[in-house]
Structure 1
């Protein structure tokens, strides 16, 4: 069966009208009828029930539609991907990440480089306290940021991976003697605050303004970078939720990491300027989704 015949069959299965199918595919109605008759002769059974008033799929036609539809969509997706690759296989793409994400995104970077060997891939660090600045300034083309992102000028891609949170405290802090902490504990001590233009709703996904019972969380030292946060925490003056990637990659003698038992996961997705979307950006998002996307059962 030729691709055009598959297109005709699937279009007719959706339209259930020979005239509308012909108009949709920009062919003659006779071409649609001829194609369906040829397919029915080849298969050996009727695919449609035709009367002067209606066209309906037969049970055989329904089974064929269900099998062909998925395969046809895969073929179109493959052609689209190849076309995008051909158009975007050269040039430069700058990807921004937080400095703790190198291991988590390695698979996405490797897959993108395999698919686009002629593209120069550059990496830049995003400050957690200014997640959108580099995007809006054009210093990066796409960034991997925690959600939510509700900015009208930015496009958010599919969720790729998640990160648990831990509580960072000084070794001599009263909480350091415990096996784990809870979000309610944030109401008892000053907590690190961001010194940057991060929107309140974005920071709240990382460090909430109130505890689960509604107690306000006292703001403590303001910081711009993760290194500044650790320095402040190590003095014992403040505590802070921290992504677990940092706990693994930034082990320190002067900071203790406690599991935050009831903290929701941080969810990450690619984000880019709506006006700056390019074939390379789309290709990277596709590669990242193929390599990293979190199964729905784990979200």
Structure 2
């Protein structure tokens, strides 16, 4: 399948052969053998171009993520056998663990100098997708996370929430607002596979008294959310730290005094846990305790 996937990406027999360190004839033979097995062409070939057939495109769409997950599984198995040394891919949502993030990284690196940390941002439209797909090994994300295949580790941050509103909005002049006030404004939905309960916790569908909260357009990234708020398209509850990390003159942040705190925790795939994963969770818990508060699981 390597020949098929590489040719589907390169759409050039010469470059595919170079990447796989095979002859062009060997690549062509391999593809023809696969096509005979399937019973139909997977590529349209001319003297000028190579293109996937509809059948080939469908096979590629199904096969590529499966192979990527298999490669990630093999990599995790090798990592478990080798211990902590290697590469740890850390995903983070928004500002991650905020001001605690450098402390977590410093503690982990001091204990495991042979392990390289690679960080990647995830978006709230699909906060758990990169973790499930094996693109990251561990994730710093907002709770709640209630998934049977994921483990929620130490809670590293808890903070109050505020309401992000356009700078000229009447709420911007108030000292505080309440969840009941959300019935008078428009909030945003989310475009993507984020768990419904996750988004509904952060942006509720109704007030505590049961009044519906009007929803406007869907958003996919945090920067898009702030841009739409600044343009007067709606408002949104956010973590209080957003006012520091994402401050902008056209958005005001008003305390949302009766909303529950929002928390950030370390999350990983239960079946994909490795020595590196557990080492990172321990570093996160110790960073919390060194900051003067007990780590909570």
TM-score of the two chains, using structure 1 as the length reference: 0.68
State the match for 1:88 in structure 2: 83
Q: Structure 1 stretches (4+) deviating beyond 6 angstroms?
A: none
State the match for 2:199 in structure 1: 203
Alignment of 1:65-80 (within 5 A): none
State the match for 2:154 in structure 1: 158
Alignment of 1:10-89 (within 5 A): 88-89=83-84
Q: 1:230 aligns with which of 226, 234, 259?
A: 226
Tell me the alpha carbon deviations over residues 67-119 of structure 1, each in whole angstroms, 9 at most, x when there is no partner. xxxxxxxxxxxxxxxxxx99634100001112323533111111000000110
State the match for 2:93 in structure 1: 98
State the match for 2:236 in structure 1: 240
Q: 1:289 to 1:87 in 2, by over 3 A?
A: farther
Distance between the aligned counterparts of 2:237 and 2:128, measured in 1?
A: 21
1:291 aligns with 2:265: no
Query: Is the 1:221–1:232 Cα contact (8 Å) retained in structure 2?
Result: no
Query: Is the 2:285–2:295 Cα contact (8 Å) retained in structure 1?
Result: no
Alignment of 1:132-143 (within 5 A): 132-143=128-139
Q: 1:199 to 1:298 in 2, by over 3 A?
A: closer
Distance between the aligned counterparts of 1:188 and 1:264, measured in 2?
A: 20
Tell me the alpha carbon deviations over residues 20-79 of structure 1, each in whole angstroms, 9 at most, x when there is no partner. xxxxxxxxxxxxxxxxxxxxxxxxxxxxxxxxxxxxxxxxxxxxxxxxxxxxxxxxxxxx
Distance between the aligned counterparts of 1:188 and 1:236, measured in 2?
A: 14
Distance between the aligned counterparts of 1:158 and 1:190, measured in 2?
A: 34
Distance between the aligned counterparts of 1:128 and 1:232, measured in 2?
A: 16
**Structure 2: stretches of 5+ with no match in the other structure:** 1-79
RMSD over aligned Cα atoms: 2.3
Aligned length: 216
> Which SS does the other structure have where 1:157 is aligned?
strand
Distance between the aligned counterparts of 1:216 and 1:178, measured in 2?
A: 22
Query: Is the 2:288–2:295 Cα contact (8 Å) retained in structure 1?
Result: no
State the match for 1:268 in structure 2: 264
Question: Greater Rg, structure 1 or structure 2?
Answer: 1
**Structure 1: stretches of 5+ with no match in the other structure:** 1-84
TM-score of the two chains, using structure 2 as the length reference: 0.68
Query: Is the 2:93–2:142 Cα contact (8 Å) retained in structure 1?
Result: no
> Which SS does the other structure have where 1:242 is aligned?
strand
Q: 1:296 to 1:207 in 2, by over 3 A?
A: farther
Distance between the aligned counterparts of 2:109 and 2:81, measured in 1?
A: 14
